[in-house]
Amino acid sequence: MNAKVGNVSFEMPQPGEMVIDKPYSEKTAELIDTEVRELINSAHRHTTELLTKHKDNITKVAERLLKQEILSRDDMIELLGPRPFPEKSTYEEFVEGTGSLEEDTTLPEGLKDWNKEKPTSPDSVPTASKN
């Protein structure tokens, strides 16, 4: 989670399971609560700073959205300018280094006939016993 709490994971009770004791102490629970609260407050501060810093651009986008429901990539470039990092805009560039451009869609041997009826033989049909 963070430096104070560390990378820990506590097993949660399964649905319907009785909970008698927490898998951690009251002191640890307080530490977790404090750290989670700080994490949320920090994220809130950072978000507020970003929104304040970019208020003019947010206003531009909001005003355009009031006029037209959907904004294209070109609309966003017109409003905000080009991205501050290089764009990968073609499929080939996106898949570069990930293997083949051709996707292997062959089925495993056991699934090749999944949608075909299997022939039935008289031996394979269950029969009612006569007593």
Q: pTM for the complete prediction?
A: 0.52
The pair of structure tokens assigned to 27 is 């002191």
What does the alpha-carbon distance between residue 11 and residue 4 come to, in Å, rounded to a whole number?
Answer: 19
Looking at every residue in the chain, the average pLDDT score rounds to: 82
At 48-94, the pLDDT tens digits run 999 999 999 999 999 999 999 999 989 999 999 998 888 766 777 77
Q: Cβ distance 101 to 107 under 8 Å? A: no
Place 123 in a pLDDT band, splitting at 50, 70 and 90: low
Domain extents in the chain: 25-49
Concatenating the DSSP letter of every residue in 26-69 gives HHHHHHHHHHHHHHHHHHHHHHHHHHHHTHHHHHHHHHHHHH-S
φ, ψ dihedrals at 6, nearest 5°: 85, 180
